[in-house]
Each structure stands twice: as C-alpha cells, then as structure tokens.
C-alpha cells in the first residue's frame, strides 16, 4: 500500500511508532540486555519477552491472513553457513555497541547521545559489506510462510493465548498490594513481557498500514540505493526515537549524559558489525524478531539463536579476562 503522509492511516502509523519507541525504552527492550540477564542472573524474562513479541506478531498476521487483509509479506531465505556468520556478526556488533538495534533506541531515550552513531555505523556497514562479501547472496525461498499457510488452524489457539495473557496481566496489575493501583498498573504494563507485547501489537498495525518500515531496513536499502518512501519511513523512525525519549523522561531515566570518545567509537564500530551481519542474513535483529521469526522462517530463528550465543560467549570471555585486572585493583 503506498504511503500517503496526509492520510488517516499514516497518522495512526505515526502514533503506533511513537508508542513502540515509548515501550522499547520503558521496557528496556534489548537482546544484549536479555542475554546479560540470562548470563549474570540466570533468569530469562527479557529473552522470553522478545519471543513473546514474535508470538504476538505471528498471531496478528494469522488473523490478518484469515480476514484477507494481509499485505504482501517479505520472502524467506534458506539457512546456511552465512546465516550463522551473519548472526555472529550481529551478536558481536551488539556486544561491542553495548546494545542491539532495539537497545540503541532505549539508550538514546535515556539521553545517551552516543547511540545516535549506531544507525550511522549500521549504514556504513551496509555500504562496505558489498566488497567484503562479494558474490554472497542469501537464497530466497519460493514456498509460503509455514505460519501463514496454517493460519486457519492457528487463529483459535492464538486468541486463547491472547485472552489468557491479558487476563493474567490485569489480575497482576490490579491485585492486592501496598502500592496504589496506578503504580501497580505502570509496573506491570512496562514489565519485559508486557512491553514486548505492546511492541508486537503496534508493529503488526504498522505493517498492515504502511508495510515494512523498520529503520534498519531503510538504512540497508539506502546503502544499496533501493529505498522507497524514504520520507515517510524516515518520519516514522524519528517518531520512534521521540517516543523513546518521552519514555525515558516520564520514567525519570532521562539524563543529559556527557559524550565520551570511546563510547562513540564503540557505537560506530558496533553499528558497522551489525550492518555487515544484517546483509548476510538478511535483516537486523529487529526485523528477524518481528518479521522472520513470526513468519516461521528457520533462518531467522537460527540467526537470533546464533546472535544470543555470540553475545553470551563474548560476555563470559570479557568477564574472564577482566577479573585479574579487578583483582589487581583490589590488592
């Protein structure tokens, strides 16, 4: 569907993009943070929250397919060794950057201005990846998404899941406790699971209204000179950042942090690495989680699993080598 800025559909899309940015910041949504939570605390709330976002998107797409209102969906790609390499580059880039492409938005929303260099690095990575990996092109699949092919059978289970999840959230938010009801609601609405639910639902609405619009996709297309509707999609990306900034301010997290040269370098290099990985797969971790995984494409699940494993290994290795330095300081 062509994007008409003055249309009601685009106005709704702008609102959804703002809510997505707000939820990303308030829920501290980030694959790097999710893996760090698993490694350091042994809990997987954030990681499961990301999977739940994929489930909500999948359910929304299934309902849209059943109602015959689903636009043309992105094609899938065959999993290969390059999928693993691309996922590893996404993970290494996220580790160096200190945040994935989701997390960079959340960090910007907290006033960490250095993370504005992450999209720039991503774009530069997409520009430079062609000579580095000349001749490497992901193989497109001709078959339809397995999730959409089974949409008739999946509608009822998803609706049951949605009702159960909503009822559970309402009970938790309005249950007994010392906090005021609005404080309990705020606490549960922006838990990792609830925040990623908000992200997933709004992403589906955006996908139905304006098609693919993820800012990493726009950057990759710009690097290849293939971007369409750049103005409208750029507006959505800016609103996404504005929503994140509003989320940081309302949560009391927004601080005008000093920009340090090492952090600028990490954000730029991390963005470049994630740009490389995104073209090998193809797709950034936002597109993989919110499009590839919900559509049931194995390459997307493999890429995200590889990304998470790479982040975990990098974090463990980093802590192992940092420990002697810490011990020396203590002594």
Q: What is the residue-averaged pLDDT of the chain? A: 83
- Non-local CB neighbours of 23 within 8 Å, separated by 6+ positions: 29, 190, 195, 196, 198, 199, 202, 243, 247
The β-bridge partners of 85 are none
227 pLDDT exceeds 70? no
Q: Residues 18, 240: contact at Cβ < 8 Å?
A: yes
Q: How many CB atoms lie within 10 A of CB 323?
A: 10
Q: Which two tokens stand for residue 183?
A: 């404080």
Mean pLDDT of the region 137-148: 86
pLDDT at 9: 83
| Range name among 37-51, 88-102, 217-231 with the lowest pLDDT average | 217-231
**CB 50 within 8 Å of CB 275:** no
Q: How confident is the model at residue 326 (pLDDT cuts 50, 70, 90)?
A: very low
Q: Buried b vs exposed e over 12-46: b needs ≥16 C-beta within 10 Å?
A: ebbebbbbbbbbbbbbbbbbbbbbbbbeeeeeeeb
Instruction: Give me the mean pLDDT over the 302-307 stretch.
Output: 96
Q: What is the mean pLDDT of residues 10-39?
A: 89
Cα-based distances in Å from 89 to 58, 66, 125, 241, 274 = 26, 37, 11, 24, 6
Whether residue 138 contacts residue 281, with contact meaning beta carbons closer than 8 Å, is answered with yes
Q: Where are the domains of the chain?
A: 8-330
3-state secondary structure 263-280: HHHHHHHHHHHHHHHHHH
Share of the chain above pLDDT 70, in %: 85
What is residue 74's predicted lDDT score, i.e. its pLDDT?
A: 82
For the whole model, what pTM was predicted?
0.85
Q: What are the tokens at 319? A: 């802590």
The rounded distance, in Å, linking the Cα atoms of 267 and 44 is 26
For helices 101-109 and 8-26, what crossing angle results, to 10°?
Answer: 80
Q: Which range, of 7-11, 134-138, 186-190, averages the lowest pLDDT? A: 186-190
CA distance 44 to 216: 26
What are the angstrom distances between the C-alpha of 293 and each of 33, 59, 84, 200, 286? 19, 12, 15, 12, 10
192 vs 245: CA distance, rounded Å: 18
User: What local confidence, expressed as pLDDT, does residue 237 receive?
Assistant: 86
CA proximity to 276, closest of 133, 99, 150, 102: 133
Calculated CA dihedral for residues 91, 96, 99, 105, nearest 10 degrees: -120
- The pLDDT score that the predictor gives to residue 181 is 45
d(CA 252, CA 52): 27
The Cα 316–Cα 27 span in angstroms is 25
C-beta of residue 35 within 8 angstroms of C-beta of residue 309? no
């Amino acid at each position: 569907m062509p994007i008409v800025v003055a249309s009601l559909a685009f106005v709704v899309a702008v609102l959804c993009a703002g809510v997505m940015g707000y939820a990303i910041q308030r829920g501290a949504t980030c694959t790097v943070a999710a893996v760090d939570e698993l490694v350091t605390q042994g809990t997987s709330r954030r990681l499961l929250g990301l999977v739940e976002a994929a489930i909500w998107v999948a359910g929304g797409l299934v309902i849209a397919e059943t109602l015959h209102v689903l636009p043309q969906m992105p094609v899938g790609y065959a999993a290969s060794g390059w999928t693993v390499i691309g996922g590893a580059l996404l993970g290494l880039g996220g580790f160096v950057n200190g945040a994935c492409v989701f997390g960079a938005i959340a960090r910007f929303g907290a006033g960490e201005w250095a993370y504005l260099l992450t999209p720039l690095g991503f774009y530069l990575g997409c520009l430079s990846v062609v000579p580095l990996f000349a001749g490497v092109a992901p193989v497109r699949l001709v078959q339809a998404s397995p999730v959409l092919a089974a949409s008739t059978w999946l509608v009822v289970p998803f609706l049951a899941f949605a009702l159960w999840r909503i009822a559970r959230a309402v009970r938790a938010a309005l249950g007994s406790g010392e906090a005021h009801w609005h404080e309990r609601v705020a606490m549960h609405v922006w838990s990792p699971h609830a925040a990623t639910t908000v992200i997933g639902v709004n992403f589906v609405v955006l996908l139905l209204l304006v098609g693919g619009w993820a800012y990493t996709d726009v950057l990759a297309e710009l690097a290849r000179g293939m971007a369409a509707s750049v103005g409208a999609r750029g507006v959505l990306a800016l609103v996404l950042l504005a929503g994140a900034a509003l989320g940081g301010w309302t949560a009391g997290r927004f601080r005008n942090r000093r920009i340090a040269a090492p952090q600028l370098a990490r954000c730029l290099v991390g963005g470049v690495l994630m740009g490389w990985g995104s073209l090998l797969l193809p797709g950034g971790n936002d597109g993989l989680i919110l499009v590839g995984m919900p559509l049931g494409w194995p390459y997307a699940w493999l890429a995200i699993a590889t990304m998470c494993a790479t982040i975990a290994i990098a974090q463990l290795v980093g802590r192992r080598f940092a420990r002697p330095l810490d011990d020396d300081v203590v002594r």
